[in-house]
Structure 1
Amino acid sequence: MRTDAPILMFDSGVGGLTVLAETRALLPDAQYIYVADSAALPYGNKSEAEIAARVCGLLGRLAERYHPRLICIACNTASTIALGMVREVLETPIVGTVPAIKPAAELTRTGVIGLLGTAATVRQPYVDQLEAEFATDKVLLRHGAPELVVAAERKLRGETPDPAAIAGAVAGLRNQPGGDTIDTVVLACTHFPLLTDELTREFGPGVTFIDGAQGIARRIAYLTRGQTFTRPDSDLAIITGDASHDTALHQALRHYGIGRIAGF
């Protein structure tokens, strides 16, 4: 394998940057290509068939062009729907992103866990399987909050997230039976950790938020152990659609060590 073979991070938008930051902390010498499928954002309101076809098609073309050493699908919606299909098509190691229900079940004191994700993620059978395996003696309350994706995209660009979006997402969990005793919330979308401060204020004290970014980073580090890396001066972001005039996005990407941007 070439020492400059990149780790490719894929998300529907900017949410996967939260995973990139954790991975770079463990593997600072690696080269990264960050892919944001902004042209199809948001994924959460699309059908499973649409998401599977788009993710498999894009990753197949990207793998052929850039020959990554590993691909991370840094998107819960894409992972819960298309991870198995992508692994069948590509020989490249694939790391997915799944809701952190297991650590939440180990952490909760009240036994009531909230899960915030996109509408597509919260309805997936894969989430049912995680609940059955790790949280059978807990109460898992789910709420699809696609408005938080938009809020996170805006915040990353330096704008103020819509307070109504934050309040609505929290109410979607709190207003369910048992929601007043939630003490642990799974952020089942990589966009949502960008809004931890806003969610903390809205939920109030005594609530812990869990996402999978650190666990994903550890998995990537394990799968690439013993490999040699060479890194360019700055990493590359690939944005689908026309992002050439999105200066706020460009500035945010530079904050994450990405100095080169290309379309796809």
Structure 2
Amino acid sequence: MDAAQPILFFDSGVGGLSVLAPTRRLLPAAPLVYVADNGGFPYGTKTEAEIAARVPALLGRLVERYRPRLVVIACNTASTIALAAVRSALDLPIVGTVPAIKPAAAMSKTRVIGVLGTDATVRQPYVDRLSAEFASDCLVLRHGSARLVELAEAKLRGVAADPAEYRAALEGLISQPGGDRMDTVVLACTHFPLVEDELRAASPQGLHFMHGGDGIARRVQFLTEGQPWPAVAQPGIIVFTRRIDIPPALKQGLGGYGLDQIDYL
């Protein structure tokens, strides 16, 4: 294992930064490559067939170029649809992202939990299986919000949103039968932890929010245990799949995550 081999994070946009950040805290010297598939953004409104075709092909090209030691699919939608195909195609460890239904069910006192994700994620059979296995005694409510993804992207660019937009996203869960008793919400899109503070401020009933970022970081730490790292941390690389102008606010936001070098696929 070469100490310079990076960990590669993959998402449709900036959401996977909510997974990169805790990983960086645990492994501060790890070389990092973060891929934002802005050429395919957003994933949440695409069909399963589109995502299943796009993600393995893109990751194949990225692995060939950057030679990572491990890949994190830091996207719930891509993971629930394409994780098995990616693992079959690539001969290196692949860590996926799945909704944190198990810890949410363990925490809920009212036995009503919400799953807030993209439209593509919340309709997946994988969510059915997680709910049946870990939350069979809970009422599991689901709501898909493409708008929250856009709000998270905008926040990293320094654009604030009307708090009513966050209330509207939560209302998609609360307005369902039993939603008034919900006490825990799974943020089943990696974009959503980036606006967790705004969601908490908009919550009318003191909701607790859960996501898998810290657990994924611990998994990456475990899988890379004993491997060599550079003596000094290097600037991280942010890769876009389509060329764009990088406004100063976005460049500053990415720099806060240690991503100072910009590349294009």
Whether 1:8 aligns to 2:31 is no
The more displaced of 237-246 and 206-215 is 237-246
Kindly provide the amino acid, as one letter, of the partner of residue 235 in structure 2: S
Distance, in Å, in 2 between the alignment partners of 1:205 and 1:167 is 11
State the Cα distance separating 1:232 from its structure 2 match: 4.9
Match of 1:246 in 2: 247
Whether 1:256 aligns to 2:257 is yes
Question: CA deviation digits over 1:205-236, x for unaligned, max 9?
Answer: 43110000000000000000000111553111
Alpha-carbon RMSD: 1.1
Distance, in Å, in 2 between the alignment partners of 1:246 and 1:51 is 28
Match of 2:182 in 1: 182
Residue correspondence of structure 1 range 134-213 to structure 2 within 5 A: 134-213=134-213
Q: Does the residue aligned with 2:133 lie in a helix, a strand or coil? A: helix
State the Cα distance separating 1:246 from its structure 2 match: 3.2
Residues 243 and 263, structure 1, Cα contact 8 Å, conserved in 2? no
Residue correspondence of structure 1 range 1-264 to structure 2 within 5 A: 1-230=1-230, 232-264=233-265
Q: Does the residue aligned with 1:39 lie in a helix, a strand or coil? A: coil
Distance, in Å, in 1 between the alignment partners of 2:256 and 2:11 is 18
Question: CA deviation digits over 1:191-210, x for unaligned, max 9?
Answer: 00111111112213431100
Residues 29 and 233, structure 2, Cα contact 8 Å, conserved in 1? no
Normalising by structure 1, we get a TM-score of: 0.97
Identity of aligned residues (%): 59
State the Cα distance separating 1:168 from its structure 2 match: 1.8
State the Cα distance separating 1:244 from its structure 2 match: 3.4
Any gaps of 5 or more consecutive residues in structure 2?
none
Kindly provide the amino acid, as one letter, of the partner of residue 71 in structure 1: V
The more displaced of 165-174 and 102-111 is 165-174
Distance, in Å, in 1 between the alignment partners of 2:88 and 2:24 is 27
Kindly provide the amino acid, as one letter, of the partner of residue 98 in structure 2: V
How many correspondences in the alignment? 264
Any gaps of 5 or more consecutive residues in structure 1?
none
The more displaced of 5-14 and 198-207 is 198-207
Q: Does the residue aligned with 1:168 lie in a helix, a strand or coil? A: helix
State the Cα distance separating 1:27 from its structure 2 match: 0.6
Distance, in Å, in 2 between the alignment partners of 1:149 and 1:109 is 28
Question: CA deviation digits over 1:133-187, x for unaligned, max 9?
Answer: 0000001000001110000001111111243431221110010000001100000
Distance, in Å, in 2 between the alignment partners of 1:4 and 1:115 is 38
Residues 114 and 182, structure 2, Cα contact 8 Å, conserved in 1? yes
State the Cα distance separating 1:245 from its structure 2 match: 3.5
Q: Does the residue aligned with 2:29 lie in a helix, a strand or coil? A: coil
Runs of 4+ in 1 over 4 A off after TM superposition: none
The more displaced of 67-76 and 167-176 is 167-176
Kindly provide the amino acid, as one letter, of the partner of residue 238 in structure 2: A
Distance, in Å, in 2 between the alignment partners of 1:257 and 1:246 is 17
Distance, in Å, in 1 between the alignment partners of 2:54 and 2:162 is 29
Question: CA deviation digits over 1:87-131, x for unaligned, max 9?
Answer: 000001000000000000000000000110000000000000000
Normalising by structure 2, we get a TM-score of: 0.97
